[in-house]
Structure 1
Amino acid sequence: MSGTVHIVGGGLAGLSAALELAEAGRRVTIYEGGPALGGRARSYEDKQLGCRLDNGNHLLLSANETVFAYLDRIGARHTLVGPGAPIFPFHDLAAGLDWTVRLSPGRIPWWVFSNRRGVPGMRLKELGGLLKLMRARGDQTVSECLDPGALADRLMIPLAVSALNTRPEIASAALMGAVMRESMAKGGSACVPWFPAIGLSESLVDPATVRLQQLGVTIRTGARVAGLGLVHGRVGTMLLPEGRVELAPGDQMILAVPAHSARDVAAGVLPDMTAPTEYESILNLHYRADVLDRLTGDLARAGFAGVVGGMAEWVFVKPGILSVTVSAANHLADHSAAALAATIWREVRAVVSPALQPGTTLPDALPPHRVVREKRATFAATPAQDRLRPQCRTSVPNLVLAGDWTATGLPATIEGAMRSGLVAARALGPGSRPPLT
């Protein structure tokens, strides 16, 4: 096909689609409204802290086949680091207890029978809740499937909240079941954690930008598409900052912006488009603290720890920074940044100090920090919102949708976003690989 594919949105869904199309020989132009590519998975310089930060913490698993294939295509797999084994350190604030879940490499979960590898206080009968999740109906919630106990409180609920960014009492069990079928159900070899050694941009965005430019892709930042228009039943115009631009007759388009933006942009061509309407926020706190050379034990090996019983959910140890993620954070919207920073710093001290070399600890005083709120980080992964997610193809023949909010079968994850980009690219017709199944 000879026309240009116009990709609206330079997040990971758009980059994934652009790479697929450009490698197949298609002409591609990316339009990104912001100053940089990457969407919710990028890095930036923080002048206040004097260091580079990610706009969110993302943990990848070895099961994320689409992500790792993308990294291989842009030559960036080597930019990730991790423990090299399926280990997940945790700290229970109320009990003052540290432990590490060490998953068995194969499909048989031998780890549940070991006091040194499993969840403290869990009972074997609680495993039934995992089967319920993987067999859940579309209207069930995570809490309805999990059996009460230590396995739920100290492992499955923290994992569900981080994967779905939604509280377990309203979160879709079917979506969590999909995550589990692609990870835990395949054994520990599918659950090895990885994250960028430097930053999200350095791993996922900058190498992709270089590769796309080598392939001749035109990248326009600061080019927000405000609306689309129909010409003879096809997308024929788009409204850019410089004015209305006409598409050529053979041009196609992938709309790969967040759900709320997609509804606005496509209002003139897809008035009946369905999309999620409810969102959950994510709270990230970054504290200036250099502890990497003083860490010991599993926290040093993994580079992160889960937190049970507090505001904090995950603590990541990075060069010069202790970074905290709080998912499903709508309930914290009325809390001041100062109060959140102080409370969560106390929790960070409780998690990190026991792992420091003898005779060292984190200071009581609050260090320089940054509080970042993503108010509409993801769609709320409830059964009702999941039903609103649209398919890739639309009623307009030269327009397809991409994004982690489309019907990927997964919650709003990097894997889902990239998978949606591939599906959109392959839906445009000849010149790309077969559709994903």
Structure 2
Amino acid sequence: MMARVHIIGAGLAGLSAAVELADSAELLLHEAAPQAGGRCRSYFDSTLNMTIDNGNHLLLSGNDSALAYARKIGGAEKLAGPDEAAFDFCDLEQRQRWRLRPNAGQLPWWILAPDRRVPQTAGLDYVALARLLFAGPKQTLRPFLGSGDLARKLWDPIFVSALNTDPSEASARLAGAIVRETFARGGEACRPLVAVEGLSAAFVDPALAYIRARGGEIRFGAKLREIAFAEGQAAALDFGEAMIELGAEDKVILAVPPQVAISLAPGLKAPLESRAIVNAHFAFPAPKNLPLLTGVIGAASEWLFGFSDRLSVTISAAERFLSTPREDLARSIWDEVQAVAGIEAPLPAWQIIKEKRATFAATPEQDALRPGTETQWRNLFLAGDWTQTGLPATIEGAIRSGVRAAKACAK
């Protein structure tokens, strides 16, 4: 008889755990919301009259766990990007454009080629980044990056988006983990990948189909209110209208936000300080010559995504914009979008999404609070990008945490 596993939460952490266990366990996936995906999903927006993502997300080809998950569920074909590592940038203040092109091999000869690196920088300027690989748990990022032209034009945009935390307070060790898994592995691990048909098409809908095809049960609108504990393990799950008693061999994976997790698991410590992300979507098709992804320097906008039906902007560590009226924000961002895309057009239909608690704050102090997969209860396991994955709060971290929780269940 297969073991029964209850997975609480159908974000990417919960979905990846379920996919990992689908062939070896009797699965019940409980999600409080009416849909799966959590902070990484698509929805139809009536203002724009199109399907958009609740937040723009970027993968890199070095995100091994995320790509293995996408391939397993059949979503990898929904990811698009250049054949080689290439990142386009536009500096609106200095009126410059360039393309960063790390070479494919691990030996980084690209830093010696002026046409592959940031203009007006030298190869030796990039060597300092290797120090991040040896950063300690209490060190912050800014001293490693400096405050010169290279930091402004390259390192700040990359690490602010990866960590969603300002470099002055961000964890250098988490930044080092990003370097170790991408730049240090060469350009083959740095190719940008985007879910051009939406996050749900690549990561959510195929996972639900995969789980159901293997007999897994998915329950939406099922909010877990309390976990009863007895004799060192989770003994019952209280969903309000239904109480599920757990057998001796039953397992539970708690794949919920940290605020919810600590309310359900007494004594659990977790990072509760958060950082915001603002996304802007404009119903205007990308010009044919616009790259799929452009880093924007010297502006509020940080990354511009050029989709076939819309232009979308992401701003990380965006607390400064939370109180800005949405229409004012849309107009100012649209001005920047026009300058980057080389267009002149009145403000089209738009949507601004302010995610106040988009990720945990990737500071050394908050990183130290992240729990591991196992808990004090022998049948209760944790998953989520806020658990101790060794990475900041990313798609890769969320999926990796789910796989780890599934493997812990199977022991």
For Structure 1 versus Structure 2, the TM-score category normalised by the shorter chain is: over 0.9
* 1:335 aligned to which of 309, 324, 344: 324
Deviations 1:198-225, CA, capped at 9 Å, x for gaps: 1100010111111100111100111111
1:70 aligns with 2:69: yes
Aligned equivalents of 1:238, 1:342: Cα separation in 2: 48
1:295 aligns with 2:288: yes
- 2:19 aligned counterpart, secondary structure: helix
- 1:168 aligned counterpart, secondary structure: coil
Give 1:324's aligned amino acid.
V
- 2:107 aligned counterpart, secondary structure: coil
1:283 aligns with 2:283: no
Aligned equivalents of 1:221, 1:429: Cα separation in 2: 25
Aligned equivalents of 1:39, 1:209: Cα separation in 2: 13
Residue pair 1:129, 1:147 contacting (<8 A) in 2 also: no
1:304 aligns with 2:316: no
* 2:404 aligned to which of 423, 429, 433: 423
When normalised by structure 2's length, the TM-score is 0.97
Residue 367 of structure 2 aligns with which residue?
A: 386
Aligned equivalents of 1:362, 1:31: Cα separation in 2: 47
Question: After TM superposition, which residue ranges in structure 1, 4 or more long, deviate above 4 angstroms?
Answer: none
Q: Aligned ranges for residues 20-419 of structure 1 at < 5 Å?
A: 20-23=20-23, 25-266=24-265, 271-291=266-286, 294-296=287-289, 299-300=290-291, 303-353=292-342, 361-363=343-345, 365-419=346-400
- 1:235 aligned counterpart, secondary structure: strand
Aligned equivalents of 1:188, 1:336: Cα separation in 2: 40
Deviations 1:265-302, CA, capped at 9 Å, x for gaps: 22xxxx221100200011000011023xx422xx33xx
When normalised by structure 1's length, the TM-score is 0.92
Q: Where does the alignment leave 5 or more consecutive residues of structure 2 unmatched?
A: none
Residue 16 of structure 1 aligns with which residue?
A: 16
1:404 shift after superposition: 0.4
1:76 shift after superposition: 1.9
Give 2:190's aligned amino acid.
C
Deviations 1:153-179, CA, capped at 9 Å, x for gaps: 111110000100001100001001001
Residue 6 of structure 1 aligns with which residue?
A: 6
Aligned equivalents of 1:196, 1:412: Cα separation in 2: 18
Aligned equivalents of 1:337, 1:212: Cα separation in 2: 39
Aligned equivalents of 1:306, 1:407: Cα separation in 2: 29
Aligned equivalents of 1:108, 1:230: Cα separation in 2: 53
Residue pair 1:119, 1:150 contacting (<8 A) in 2 also: no
Residue pair 2:232, 2:376 contacting (<8 A) in 1 also: no
Aligned equivalents of 2:186, 2:16: Cα separation in 1: 27
Aligned equivalents of 2:113, 2:77: Cα separation in 1: 33
Deviations 1:83-106, CA, capped at 9 Å, x for gaps: 111000001111111111011111
Residue pair 1:16, 1:422 contacting (<8 A) in 2 also: yes
Residue pair 1:120, 1:150 contacting (<8 A) in 2 also: no
Number of residue pairs matched by the alignment? 411
Aligned equivalents of 1:71, 1:245: Cα separation in 2: 32
1:108 shift after superposition: 1.9
Percent of aligned positions with the same letter in both sequences?
45
1:127 shift after superposition: 2.1
Give 2:35's aligned amino acid.
A
Give 1:242's aligned amino acid.
E
Residue 434 of structure 1 aligns with which residue?
A: none
1:124 shift after superposition: 3.2
Give 1:51's aligned amino acid.
M
Deviations 1:86-140, CA, capped at 9 Å, x for gaps: 0000011111111110111111222222222110122334224302212111111
Residue pair 1:84, 1:193 contacting (<8 A) in 2 also: no
- 2:249 aligned counterpart, secondary structure: coil
Aligned equivalents of 2:277, 2:220: Cα separation in 1: 25
Deviations 1:184-211, CA, capped at 9 Å, x for gaps: 0011011011111211000101111111
Residue pair 2:112, 2:122 contacting (<8 A) in 1 also: no
Aligned equivalents of 2:95, 2:264: Cα separation in 1: 50
Q: Where does the alignment leave 5 or more consecutive residues of structure 1 unmatched?
A: 354-360, 431-437
Give 1:18's aligned amino acid.
A
Deviates more, 1:246-255 or 1:203-212: 246-255
Aligned equivalents of 1:260, 1:51: Cα separation in 2: 32
Q: CA RMSD in A?
A: 1.3
Residue pair 1:126, 1:146 contacting (<8 A) in 2 also: no
Give 1:169's aligned amino acid.
S
Aligned equivalents of 1:261, 1:412: Cα separation in 2: 17
Residue pair 1:123, 1:149 contacting (<8 A) in 2 also: no
Residue pair 1:172, 1:382 contacting (<8 A) in 2 also: yes
Residue pair 2:281, 2:313 contacting (<8 A) in 1 also: yes
Aligned equivalents of 2:373, 2:188: Cα separation in 1: 31
